[in-house]
Structure 1
Amino acid sequence: MGKPDAEGHGLPDLPPEWGRVVVPDDASALATEAAQIRHELRRAAGRPGPHRALAVPLLIVLVAVLTTLAGLLAVTWPRANRGTDRPTPAPYAPPAALAGRALPALDLVDAGQSPVPLRGLLPAMIILVDGCLCADRVAEAVAAAPAGVAVVTVSGGRAVTAPPPVERNVRALADPAGGLRSFLGQPARNGTATALLVDRAGVVTRVLPELGPVDAYREDLSALTA
């Protein structure tokens, strides 16, 4: 029918003469006891003498018992579900399919905070380094990029950060407004760089949610010169 409260945290003290109190899982389980007490009260109310005098105290005790048990039930009921109602972190999903879409006309900034139209640097491999500078991966991209294809790194905020030791071969910019991240539809992830390959017409040809070895995108990079 029920279970005693084993922890006793936050519960009112009960008179010891009540003995072991069992909290029912459903308050409707008290209906039988309540009906029996009401029946006794009606019988006592119809009798002369001291029985009538006991009706009011018994009614008060009944209300106190039912209120106490209802409170115990309210306190103990959620315990079976504790720890199961916490939101489950959503797994990372790669950016939506952007291949074939036009790159927005975004103005980024250089180290001197001068605006730089991103579409004016095409064709390009654009690497977002707001989650990871990933110098080794950027160096591989620079070495593999054919002539005429720019490698652009984009950091978050207004501070421009270029991963060493390839600063001289990379156009390092910053995206204060976060327009490029908004276009991707995914936040930055620690330890991960994201890259876009964009042809000279401004069309995204490939998105690399996690920039990996150059062999995974070498052909697409070379195709930007076509």
Structure 2
Amino acid sequence: MGKPDAEGHGPPDGLPGLPPEWGRVVVPDDASALAAEAAQIRRELRQASRIPGAFRALGLPLVVLLVAVLTTLAGLLAVTWPRTGRGADRPTPAPAAPPATLTGRPLPALDLVDADNAPVPLRGLLPAMIILLDGCPCPDRVTDALAAAPVGVSVVTVTGGRTPPVGPSIDPQARALADPAGGLRSFLGQPARPGTVTAVLVDRTGTVARVLPDLRTVDSYRDDLSALAG
């Protein structure tokens, strides 16, 4: 069947010798004699490449891919999650409302300033309709209030800072003052808002009769204004 290659004879010319620990190696004349050994080797290779081994080899790439996908999804969720007040769809805030306990409370003894920076006690001008113009000059609303104010009721216009608003100088009922300390705004709890005029009606005893967070037409406060003269 074959010729031994290690019987004390040296290897053929040009070929290296085999390690002695391999023992006696026989090279068959017919390659089909090695079919059984080849089948055994193929079985061993298939067993070594089965799925558990493949998963071990692919484990790290799969983990990296999973982390990347989860990170991308988290970023998309953070961007697309609806937020309050985003973009042009921000809801229009409701008009500020005065504290429920403000009506009937006494007006604080506040000193405002006139055009000469001289202090003017606000309680000395009562009864009065006090109009805050730091959110909007709105001269038409001041004119409407002066036209509707009964005799004896002052119309006081107030701004922040130290410069009083320009008031109608020909009307003896009108006073233009400034509130540099912001005491009146703090008392009313009504922050200045662009385009909005806040007003407060105070009777002759110094008690707040009504707060108008957003002064509109005369008809909305005419009766309250007339009541101040009583």
TM range (shorter): 0.5 to 0.7
Equivalent of 2:217, from 199, 205, 213? 213
Give the % identical residues: 57
Which residue number corresponds to residue 68 of structure 1?
Answer: 68
CA drift at 1:167: 6.7
Separation of aligned partners in 2, 1:200 and 1:77:
60
Separation of aligned partners in 1, 2:221 and 2:83:
42
The answer for unaligned runs of 5 or more in structure 1 is 1-46
Separation of aligned partners in 1, 2:141 and 2:189:
22
CA drift at 1:145: 2.1
TM-score using structure 2 length:
0.65
Indicate yes or no: 2:211 matched with 1:198: no
Which residue number corresponds to residue 95 of structure 1?
Answer: 98
Indicate yes or no: 2:183 matched with 1:185: no
1:163-178 superposed matches below 5 A: 163=167, 169-178=173-182
CA drift at 1:139: 1.7
The answer for unaligned runs of 5 or more in structure 2 is 1-46
Indicate yes or no: 2:124 matched with 1:126: no
CA drift at 1:214: 2.7
Separation of aligned partners in 2, 1:77 and 1:210:
40
The two structures, once aligned, show a CA RMSD in angstroms of: 3.0
Indicate yes or no: 2:83 matched with 1:85: yes
Which residue number corresponds to residue 154 of structure 2?
Answer: 150
SS at match of 1:197: strand
Separation of aligned partners in 1, 2:194 and 2:59:
65
**In 2, are the aligned partners of 1:129 and 1:155 still within 8 Å (CA)?**
yes
CA drift at 1:148: 2.0
**In 2, are the aligned partners of 1:200 and 1:224 still within 8 Å (CA)?**
yes
CA drift at 1:162: 2.1
Separation of aligned partners in 1, 2:98 and 2:213:
7
Q: How many residues align?
A: 179
CA drift at 1:106: 1.2
SS at match of 2:73: helix
Amino acid at match of 1:94: A
